[in-house]
Each structure stands twice: as C-alpha cells, then as structure tokens.
A = this chain, B = another copy of it.
Amino acid sequence: MPEINRLDSTNADFGARLDALLDRLPERDSQVQSVVADIIADVRVRGDAAVLEYTRRFDRLDATSLEALEIPRERLKAAWDGLPTALREALSTAHRRIRDYAERQGLQGFSFIDAHGNELGQRVTAMDRVGLYAPGGKAAYPSSVLMNAVPAKVAGVRELVMCVPTPDGIVNETVLAAIHLSGVDRVFTIGGAQAVAAMACGTQTIAQVDKIVGPGNAYVAEAKRQVFGMVGIDSIAGPSEIVVICDGQTDPRWTAMDLFSQAEHDEEAQSILISPDAAYLDAVQAAMDERLAELPRAGIVRASLRARGALILVRDLSEAVGVSNHIAPEHLELSVADPDALLDEVRHAGAVFLGRHTPEAFGDYCAGPNHVLPTSRAARYANPLGVYEFQKRSSLIRCSPEGARALAPIASRLADAEGLQAHAASARDRR
C-alpha cells in the first residue's frame, strides 16, 4: 500500500502534526533573487536587445529581432485547425463554459445621492493591457491558457499579450490552439524573468502592460514579485492541494483517485482526506493500492502522498470542517450526503466541490469556475482568478454647491486636527 500520513484529531499531538504537514512558507532563494534582479535591470535599460540575448542563452533561440519571435495569428489558427476533432470540441466546450461563468463575475459600479445633494459612487473600468505568462516544456497546459485569458477577455481588457517560452524551438500545438481560441492579441516565444521584465517595463517591441498573470517556474515567480509595483500581479502559486471531507459513503475507489489527481501534479502537491469513519480511511488506502496501477505517474503520486498526504480521522463532520478551515485548502470536496449542511460552516476554500459526483478534476478543465485558485492557506484572504482581477474601481465624488457647504466644516475641522492646513483651507474655500 502507498505510504501516507495517518492523523487522529483525538491525539494530543494532532495540531502539531497537522501544522508540520502544512508548513511550507515560500522559500526565496537569494541566488534566484539576484539573477532575476540583474535580468530585470538589464531589460529595463536595453529592452529588446537584452530579451533576445537571454532568449538565446536560456532557450537556445537565435533571433535577430523580437518581431521574429512573435507567433503570427495564422500559425495559431493552423495549430487549431490541426487538432483532432474530439480535442477541439472539448476545448471549445470548456472555453464556452469558462466564459459563461466569467460573464457573471464582472464588478458593478454604483452611485447614490446623500442628504445634501452630493453624489457618491464607484466606477468600474477594465485594464488597458494585460500580460499572460504560460510556461513551456512539460508544464505547458492548454487549460491554463483558457483559465488566464478568458476572464481578461470578458473583463474587456483592450489588449492581451502572451509570452510562452519554446526552448529549442519546441512548441506545444494544443497550447497554440488554446491561444487561438482565447483571442489573445500578440504572442511571443520568450520566457523566464526576461519575459516578465519585458511586459513589466516595456521594450521597443512589447508595450508595458498593467498586470501580469499566469504560472511559471521559480524565476518567473521571483520576477513577478520584483516587478510588483510597476505592474499588478496575480498571486504566486504554491503546490496544488486538495482536502476531501467524506462521510464514508462515497466509493473509496473514487476518493482514492480524487486524491491522486492532486498528488500527480508533483511531489510537493498535497492530498488530504478527512473522515469520521476509520474503516473508510482504511478502505481508501486499500483502494489507493489497487488504483495506483492505472497511473503512469505513480512514482510522483507515491512521493507526494508519503511526504505531504494525510488520512485524518475526526470525531464528526463538523470537526472535519474545522480542520479544513484551518488548512484553508485550494480545493475542498464535500463528498457527503448533505453538503449544504457543511458548506455553511466552511470559512476558507478556493473552490468547493459539492457532493459525490463533483470531482475536483471537473473544476480543472470545464465546470466553468477558474482553476487558478489561492494555495498555501491564501484562501484565508485571496480570491480565485476572475473577471474582477482584470477590472478596477475608481471612487466618484460630485458635490453640489450646497453639499460642499455641508462638508466643508467637517473636513476643515478634521484637517486642522491633523495639522494639514492646506487641506483645511481648500475645504473652507467651498463654504
């Protein structure tokens, strides 16, 4: 049977053991930090030339101009046309469902008039230009292209620029097809910190963007951290996580495979099952043994389960939710007869999958909600990626002459108390 941690909430050391399993503060490698800082500084000064040089060095692509690294729209369309029909239809359906969900997410402005005739409001506008990063190589996922691009399109962003590295010129046709489907405006085959720097600072060929989103390796993540402030960024994704809460009545084979579907991502991924039914935990562990044989990535799954996986026995389902709230997982499956009863108690989770017929994998591809979700306990304070991440609000204030006379003495009194006399005088001018 695969090794996996077994915890029991009635044990005195339960809290400590759980926290030890969860503890993985993002470590920042000072070597990576300084390499990235140098690349950003260089791209900022030398622009295209620096990007070309790093692309030559890291991706072994020898281009004489950044334009030569842009993928023409016809090439994207050709990739789309070349896909097997079944795959093209699956991508189309996923795209439509992601868009349908996103269309309900847009922010709304408002406006109201106070008792003095002043108008107060909030206005929503889309960003002008957004940069999408898509990893190359083995982590090149067409589903990520859809999940990052579709909400930006729905938000009304005027221009989407994408960077996707193609080391040694190797391209992923399904990724190109997904880019075509998403309606991205410009695509460059550059990657790493140099791609992030180019989008954040702007170069001769790539205009500065307002925000950069999308997953990447340690260099990309560090580059996003360092350019934050020049541009907005999405959250820095940690390893993927799932918590399954089960009442013991779901087919243990299903639960085993749901846990595997996180564990197969990488050795750092985390799969946790919580149940008040000890026999069920045993049954799932037995089912794991059996179903591992189905998986080409069994080695990764075993390593992930051994290092970070857990089967947790609790007193009851309410305690299970309490444990999950502490974990604040990226994905939470409520694999129980009455998920609504538990949902009321759920405080923190990136996405909640209700009932036994809702595996997390649906959310990764085609249910509709975004698969970019807060990890590493960030569901305590952060949001799934969504349309709202590509819009921003402006406050609106419009005073009538009478309304200004009502506000002037309040503002000037508070400004005087803070020693800001120009504020006070500016307010009093409208008395």
A263 to B420, CA, bound (A): 10
In the complex, chain B residues whose CB is within 8 Å of the CB of A123: 343, 352
Chain B residues positioned under 8 Å from A417 (CB to CB):
87, 90, 142, 174
Which one, A47-55, A188-196, A225-233, A313-321, is touching chain B?
A225-233
Q: Which residues of B contact A378 (CB under 8 A)?
A: 229, 232
Selected A-B contacts with CB under 8 Å, 11 pairs: A86-B413, A105-B110, A114-B368, A120-B369, A211-B380, A258-B426, A348-B394, A354-B398, A358-B398, A361-B424, A361-B426
B26:A426 contact, CB within 8 angstroms: no
Q: Are B26 and A394 in contact (CB under 8 A)?
A: no
A407 to B98, CA, bound (A): 13
Q: Is the interface of A mostly helix, strand, loop or mixed?
A: mixed
Please, what's the 1-or-0 string for A2-21, where 1 marks a CB less than 8 Å from any CB in chain B? 00000000000000000000
Stretch at the interface among A57-65, A71-79, A163-171, A294-302: A294-302
Question: Out of B122, B362, B397, B421, which one reaches A399, CB within 8 Å?
Answer: B362
Which residue of chain B has its CB nearest to the CB of A238?
B229
* A400/B261 in contact, CB under 8 A: no
List, in ascending order, chain B residues with CB within 8 A of A216's CB: none
Q: Which of the four size classes fits the interface of chain A?
A: 35 or more
CA–CA, A384 to B395, complex, Å?
A: 7
If A350-B394, A397-B358 touch, whether A414 touches B257 (CB-CB below 8 Å) is no
Given A104-B112, A254-B430, A261-B426, 19 more contacts at CB 8 Å? A87-B414, A90-B417, A94-B414, A120-B367, A141-B418, A142-B417, A229-B376, A231-B380, A257-B422, A257-B425, A261-B425, A295-B425, A339-B398, A349-B394, A351-B395, A361-B415, A363-B395, A365-B415, A366-B407
Say yes or no: is A360 at the interface (Cβ < 8 Å to chain B).
yes
Judging by beta carbons under 8 Å apart, are A355 and B141 in contact? no
The CA of A356 and the CA of B358, in the complex, are separated in Å by 56
A340 to chain B, nearest CB (A): 9
A389 to B: closest C-beta gap in Å = 9
Q: How far is the CA of A301 from the CA of B422 in the complex (A)?
A: 9
- On whether A359 and B430 interact (CB within 8 A), knowing A125-B347, A392-B379, the answer reads yes
